[in-house]
Amino acid sequence: MSTFEIIEERPIDLTELKSELESIKKRDKELGFRSNRTKEYLEQIGVEGDNKALIKKIVDLGVPRLKDLHIVKIVDNKPETVEDLKMVLQGYPLTVNADNLKKIVEAIK
């Protein structure tokens, strides 16, 4: 049995995940069970487009303590109000002031 070594760990958004699955399917001709289920889920929720510009826009806001993991979660959910953004971030031990929350919501719109 082969052993794997993790070289890098970074969060990716759903659009990037979908493109990675497509490249794996081209390479291997067929997806595994979990990969197939993930692809079905992404098609079911309707993941389309490219979020790189939006991620860059949120990163450029320079919100303190906001990490890549939080940014990817925000971009995947695309909250439209400050209350929705608070709901997305409530699962993390993170405090973001009201001005920065408004900036993030405006960047998403």
What average pLDDT score do residues 89-109 get?
89
Identify whether residues 95 and 57 lie together within a single domain.
Answer: yes
Domain count, the chain: 2
pTM: 0.79
Residue 22 lies in a domain: yes
Residue 1 has pLDDT above 70, yes or no: no
Give dist(CA 53, CA 15) in Å, integer. Answer: 12
Identify whether residues 67 and 40 lie together within a single domain.
Answer: no
pLDDT digits (tens, 9 = 90+) for 62-84: 888 888 899 999 998 889 999 99
Q: Which domain covers residue 60, as residue numbers?
A: 52-108
Would you list the DSSP string of 47-89? Answer: --S--HHHHHHHHHT--TT--HHHHHHHHHH--SSHHHHHHHH
